[in-house]
Amino acid sequence: MIRPLLLLGAVLAAPAAASAAPAGPLQVTSKVLVESKQRAPDGTTRIALVPAKRAVPGDRVVFVLAYRNTGTQPLSNIVFDNPVPRGVAYRAPLPESAAPELSVDGRAYGALDQLSVPANGARRAAAADDVTHVRWRLARPLAPGAQGEFAFQAALK
């Protein structure tokens, strides 16, 4: 099991765990990017993703998990589990990233519309703000030298 640390300033940290069977040389890195509005020479405003050094409530951030098989054998049954840090609200996967499985308790996973949370002695449909974990499973073995990445958008509460 690999547990890299995602850092956003000095206040946010979330481990991303990856487990593989059979065990092998799975290299996992993670980073947090923040949306930065930048004025272009033509006067328009563009949004760029930059490494997060500081962020304030309301800032939109992107968590990126990159992986690579550095070994000589395929790796199978790989699952990446990324807890969503307290003070961060899950929003959505990036359009170019595979949709993750979500959890509101770290135990049961599924699509957001399949999840519920306790509310006033009953249960209500889960909302994006209730998400506590984001998980991806590789559907096929990861070939030697193969790599990829997953990413999701979030906002600071």
Percent of the chain, pLDDT > 90? 69
Return the pLDDT at 54: 83
Q: Are 66 and 28 in contact (CB under 8 A)?
A: yes
Q: What is the pLDDT of residues 57-70, one digit of tens each?
A: 999 999 999 999 99
CA distances from 1 to 6, 16, 18, 26 (A): 16, 10, 6, 9
Residue keyed to tokens 């563009």:
46
Q: Are 45 and 98 in contact (CB under 8 A)?
A: no
Q: Which residues are bridge partners to 39 per DSSP?
A: 45
Return the pLDDT at 121: 93
- 142/81 Cα distance (integer angstroms): 17
Instruction: Look at residue 22 and tell me whether its pLDDT is greater than 50.
Output: no
Q: Are 69 and 137 in contact (CB under 8 A)?
A: no
Return the pLDDT at 13: 38
Return the pLDDT at 114: 96
Return the pLDDT at 24: 54
Q: What is the pLDDT of residues 83-113, one digit of tens each?
A: 999 999 999 998 888 999 999 999 999 999 9
Return the pLDDT at 10: 29
Average pLDDT over residues 111-137: 96
Q: Which residues are bridge partners to 156 per DSSP?
A: 88
